[in-house]
Every structure is written in structure tokens, then in C-alpha cells.
């Protein structure tokens, strides 16, 4: 540990989602950490990046805080397994839980264009057996797995940095990723205080994670419940803070007038529009659904002056983007359709624009993704599609398989968003919400309370309060 006259914080940035959650917007967690640096001259922050690609992408953002109180370290950590024994060990502890999400991964797969479990579907019974035998014993998860981890994983990619800086606190905001897993392991080995978060709402119900930070900062009671029930957290070791980047989404300073937004989209001043957030390869039959909705609009069945905004999937794979390009090209020339194709999270101006597209839509339609959470910040009707257009697909290829997931139980219980299983249900829901936008408003409020916690603009501040408490008591 460092001397009492100074404090050092390690923070990792190993995922684009972390940059979105904690860094890029005014008033973010990192913005408030910069103010702490100004107020406390004995405080030092060390940002850990996994490789030179991350350094090249993100280091310009931190140029304004360069100095003795701030340092960036590129600290690669091996993602690959070091040997066969380590591979077997990782397999073993990962399947100490076997949830509905795990089962889908193991038996059905999440991408219809790839075989389940990388072609190793035959291992599903083994995974189930591990969870239902060894996984029943808390002592194995909490004590034995960390003990074995240090003996199986001999490499210590962060040990030199711990020796160099002697941190007082390690903050790992992406504990689902292997990079943060190794960093958390080193902090635990060194006896350093730890804070942690998951960077997405779907990270606790897939696999078991071997290490738990001293304090987990959960975005909602929904996530806290999964942490306690699936990942062996103690109730008092999980503190609910909200979704930090929702501070930005709900900030009225960035609100565009409806007229200004409609003009930017080249829509009439009295227009209404549906926002469709694509699921790309995960939802191959979207053209059926969009084409049918456009036909209803053209026929006037959904009322006058109705338009369409499509946001294609902005995933990392080039093949997915090409898939979307082919899937949606038929709608490019439709006079009622606009596309929003720019990547936005991380770019303030583009993010402001897309948030306003969310804010002013009459109805938003998507899959079970984080986009659903972001759209639900606003009291806009939300539809979730779980049918395959005009196709009759087996469950292994059907969009229906995404609904088999523990984290959706509480979502379904709120009654919002509205889950759509057929064209008949789709028309009925669109017609009802367009006629009465306040329909089910109380259900959406229940969703925000149960699944989002608070959209009061103070989530980032709550994270900072826990950082201060960990450092100073």
C-alpha cells in the first residue's frame, strides 16, 4: 500500500461499454474524478489499457489531464489459455451456474449463423452436471475457485504495476471480461481494496465469475438480485447506484425541440415516427416485419403523417454490417424511411442526436438489448419482437430463443415493454399506442423503478461517493 500522505487509484478501460458508461460525457464518473484530482493534490489516477489499439483510440481523450497526478499504462494481459489444464479449469468454474441463458448458449446458440457452443453442443450435459453438483456448494465458488485460480494461472501481468504504484484502490468496471478478471485477481492477491461493476446488464446470468470485488456497484435492484442469487455476493456487499450513462440520456440540457429534430430528419413538422433498432444477424427476419409495417403506414391504417427511422445494428463484426446492408437496402429509397447509421456512443454530438431520436419517437421497437434500457428512460411505448416474420423457424434459429433468460423475468413482470408474438399483435399494439401514447405509462414507470433504478442524473455521483468511501472511509 502507498503511504498515508497519498492515494492511488487503478481504473481499467477494457471495453467500449466502459467508455460509454463512465467516461465520454460531461459530468461522467471520470469528469468528477478529474475534479477530485484538482481538490486533492495527493491523489493519483492510473488508467490501465489492454493494448496499443486502445491507447491509440482513447489516449487523445485524456490529453487534458496529463500530468503527475494522472498516468496511462498499457498493460497487456493474455486472453488465451496458457495450457490445457488452465482451459479445463476455466471451463469448470464458468459452468458452476447453469441458467436459462447458459442453456441457450450451450444447446441453441445465440447467433443463428453459428453452431451452438462453437460446435460443442455435446458438452451441454457436462455443463449442467457441474452446476448441479459442484455448483451447489458455496464454499467451492467462494473459497476453492479463487484459491485454485492463483495456482492454475501463474502469469501475473499486473504485478509490476502494483509494485510500481502501490495502489490504494482498484476499480474494475468490466468484471465480466478476462482483463478485469485478472486485474481483480491481482488486487485480491495484493490485499488492495476493490470496487467493481459489470458493463452490461446481461453479464451475471451467463457464466460464473471467480472473483468478487469488496463492493459491487450494481446499476439496479434487478442486477443486485442476479449478483446475490447467481454470483455469490453478500447482500450488503452490493450497492445500487443506477446506470451512470443514463445521467447523460436524461439530461435536459441536451434536449432538442421536436420541431428541430423532425426538420433534421426531413420529416414534416406534424410528423410522427416509429424507431426500429435492428438486431442484425440475431434477427434475420426483420425485413418481413418492417415491410409489413410500412405497408400499413402507406395504406393509412395507422393514421396520417407516420414515418420510420431505422437504426441498423452497429456491432463489431464486419459481416454483421454487411448483413444489415443487404437486409435493409430495399428500404433505402422508401420516402417514409430514414436511417441513422452513425456510431454514436463516445462521440458527444452524435450521442446527443441519437438520444433525441429516442426521446421523440412515437413508438420504439427493438430486441432484448441495452438499447431497450436506454429507450425506456423516456416514457415512450416500447415493443419487443419475438416472432420470425413470415417464417416458421426451429427454436435453434428463431428469435424466440432470446426470451429464455432469467434477467427477463422481472422485465416481463413489469408489463413493459410489450412483447409481440405475431403480426396481429403488432398491429393491435401499434394502433393502440399511436392513438394513446400514455397507454401503459404506469407499467413503464414500474419498469424504470425495477430495472433502471433512478434516472435522476446522480448515478455518476453515487459511483464517486463509493470511490471516496473506499479511499477515505
CB 312 within 8 A of CB 280: yes
Task: Identify the three-state secondary structure at position 170.
Answer: strand
pLDDT band at 362 (very low <50, low <70, confident <90, very high): very high
Q: Could you give the C-alpha distances from 461 to 37, 207, 244, 284, in angstroms and in order?
A: 15, 30, 8, 40
C-alpha distances in angstroms, 311 versus 240, 262, 280, 308? Answer: 31, 16, 10, 10
pLDDT at 314 over 80: no
Residue 320: which pLDDT band, with cuts at 50, 70 and 90? low
At residue 2, the pLDDT reads 45
Q: Is residue 216 one of the residues assigned to a domain?
A: yes
pLDDT per residue over 163-191, tens digit each?
999 999 999 999 999 999 999 999 999 99
Question: Residue 354 — pLDDT band, cuts 50, 70, 90?
Answer: very high
299 plus 312 within the same structural domain = yes
The CATH number for 440's domain is 3.40.50.2000
Tens digit of pLDDT for each residue in 220-232? 999 999 999 999 9
Residue 368 in domain: yes
On whether residue 379 sits in a domain, the answer given is yes
- Is residue 228 domain-shared with residue 275, that is, in the same domain? no
pLDDT tens-place string over residues 427-445:
999 999 999 999 999 999 9
Domain range for residue 45?
7-78+155-246+457-472
Question: What is the structure's pLDDT at 30?
Answer: 97
Residues 242 and 372 in one domain: no
Q: Can you state the percent helix, strand and coil of the chain, rounding each to 5? A: 50, 15, 40
pTM of the model: 0.93
Are 47 and 63 within one domain?
yes
Query: Cβ contacts of residue 8 below 8 Å, gap of 6+?
Result: 2, 43, 44, 45, 46, 165, 166, 167, 168, 169
Q: Are residues 310 and 437 in the same domain?
A: yes
Least confident of 356-370, 405-419, 427-441: 405-419
Tell whether 145 is covered by a domain. no
Tell me which range, 247-251, 345-349, 406-410, is most confidently predicted by mean pLDDT.
247-251
Could you tell me if residue 147 is inside a domain?
no
- Mean pLDDT (whole number) for 383-388: 91
Question: Mapped to the 3 state alphabet, what secondary structure does 284-349 carry?
Answer: CCHHHHHHHHHHHHHCCCCCCCEEEEEECCCCCCHHHHHHHHHHHHHHCCCCCEEECCCCCCCCHH
Q: Is 177 found in the same domain as 42? A: yes
* In a shared domain, residues 282 and 324: yes
For residue 4, pLDDT beyond 60: no
Q: What is the pLDDT of residue 296?
A: 97
Of 437, 454, 261, the residue nearest 356 (C-alpha): 261
Distance between CA atoms of residues 344 and 341, nearest Å: 9
CA distance 48 to 401: 37
Cell 416458421 belongs to residue: 392
Output the pLDDT for position 316: 57
The pLDDT of residue 430: 97
Question: 299 lies in a domain?
Answer: yes
* Domain count within the chain: 3
Residue 117: its pLDDT value, please? Answer: 77
Residues 401 and 436 grouped into a single domain: yes
Q: Are residues 228 and 357 in the same domain?
A: no
In the prediction, which pLDDT does 378 show? Answer: 92
In-domain check, residue 142:
no
Asked if 349 and 465 sit in the same domain, the reply is no
Residue 169 lies in a domain: yes
CA Rg, the chain, in Å? Answer: 23
CA distance 448 to 61: 32
Reduced to 3 states (helix: H, G, I; strand: E, B; else coil), residue 74 is strand
Same domain, 65 and 204: yes
Q: How high is the pLDDT of residue 455?
A: 86
* Distance (Å, whole) CA 83 – CA 154: 11
Burial of 319 (0-12, 13-18, 19+ CB in 10 A): exposed
Question: What pLDDT was estimated at residue 33?
Answer: 97
Higher pLDDT, 453 or 405: 453
C-alpha cell at 220: 439496479
Same domain, 171 and 29: yes
Which pLDDT belongs to residue 365?
94
Amino acid at each position: 500500500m502507498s503511504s498515508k500522505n497519498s492515494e492511488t487509484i487503478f481504473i481499467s478501460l477494457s471495453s467500449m461499454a466502459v467508455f460509454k458508461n463512465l467516461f465520454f460525457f460531461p459530468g461522467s464518473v471520470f469528469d468528477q474524478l478529474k475534479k477530485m484530482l484538482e481538490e486533492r493534490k495527493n491523489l493519483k489516477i492510473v488508467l490501465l489499457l489492454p493494448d496499443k489499439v486502445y491507447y491509440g483510440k482513447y489516449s487523445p481523450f485524456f490529453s487534458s489531464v496529463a500530468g503527475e497526478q494522472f498516468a496511462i499504462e498499457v498493460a497487456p494481459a493474455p486472453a488465451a489459455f496458457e495450457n490445457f489444464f488452465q482451459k479445463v479449469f476455466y471451463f469448470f468454474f464458468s459452468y458452476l451456474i447453469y441458467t436459462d441463458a447458459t442453456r441457450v448458449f450451450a444447446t441453441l446458440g445465440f447467433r443463428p449463423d453459428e453452431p451452438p457452443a462453437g460446435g460443442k453442443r455435446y458438452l451441454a450435459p457436462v455443463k449442467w452436471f457441474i452446476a448441479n453438483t459442484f455448483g451447489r456448494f458455496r464454499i467451492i465458488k467462494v473459497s476453492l475457485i479463487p484459491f485454485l485460480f492463483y495456482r492454475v494461472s501463474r502469469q501475473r501481468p499486473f504485478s509490476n504495476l502494483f509494485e510500481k504504484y502501490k495502489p490504494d484502490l482498484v476499480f474494475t468496471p468490466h468484471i465480466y471480461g478476462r482483463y478485469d478478471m485478472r486485474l481483480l485477481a491481482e488486487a485480491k492477491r495484493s490485499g488492495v481494496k476493490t470496487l467493481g461493476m459489470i458493463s452490461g446488464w446481461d453479464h451475471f446470468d451467463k457464466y460464473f465469475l471467480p472473483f468478487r470485488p469488496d463492493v459491487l456497484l450494481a446499476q439496479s435492484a434487478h442486477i443486485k438480485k442476479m449478483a446475490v442469487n447467481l454470483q455469490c455476493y453478500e447482500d450488503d456487499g452490493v450497492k445500487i447506484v443506477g446506470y451512470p450513462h443514463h445521467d447523460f440520456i436524461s439530461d435536459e440540457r441536451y434536449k432538442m425541440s421536436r420541431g428541430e429534430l423532425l426538420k433534421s430528419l426531413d420529416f414534416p413538422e406534424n410528423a410522427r415516427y416509429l424507431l426500429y433498432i435492428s438486431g442484425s444477424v440475431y434477427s434475420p427476419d426483420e425485413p418481413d416485419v418492417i415491410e409489413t409495417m410500412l405497408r400499413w403506414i402507406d395504406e393509412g391504417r395507422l393514421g396520417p403523417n407516420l414515418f420510420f427511422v431505422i437504426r441498423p445494428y452497429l456491432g463489431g463484426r464486419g459481416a454483421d454490417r454487411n448483413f444489415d446492408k443487404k437486409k435493409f437496402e430495399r428500404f433505402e429509397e422508401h420516402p417514409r424511411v430514414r436511417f441513422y447509421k452513425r456510431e454514436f456512443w463516445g462521440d458527444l454530438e452524435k450521442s446527443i442526436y441519437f438520444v433525441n431520436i429516442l426521446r421523440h419517437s412515437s413508438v420504439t421497437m427493438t430486441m432484448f438489448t441495452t438499447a431497450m434500457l436506454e429507450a425506456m428512460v423516456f416514457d415512450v411505448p416500447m415493443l419487443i419482437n419475438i416472432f420470425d416474420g413470415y417464417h416458421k423457424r426451429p427454436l435453434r434459429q428463431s428469435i424466440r430463443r432470446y426470451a429464455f433468460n432469467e434477467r427477463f423475468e422481472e422485465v416481463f413482470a413489469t408489463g413493459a415493454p410489450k412483447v409481440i408474438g405475431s403480426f396481429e399483435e403488432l398491429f393491435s399494439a401499434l394502433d393502440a399506442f399511436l392513438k394513446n401514447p400514455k397507454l401503459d405509462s404506469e407499467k413503464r414507470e414500474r419498469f424504470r423503478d425495477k430495472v433502471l433504478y433512478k434516472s435522476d442524473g446522480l448515478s455518476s455521483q453515487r459511483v464517486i461517493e463509493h470511490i471516496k468511501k473506499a479511499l477515505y472511509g
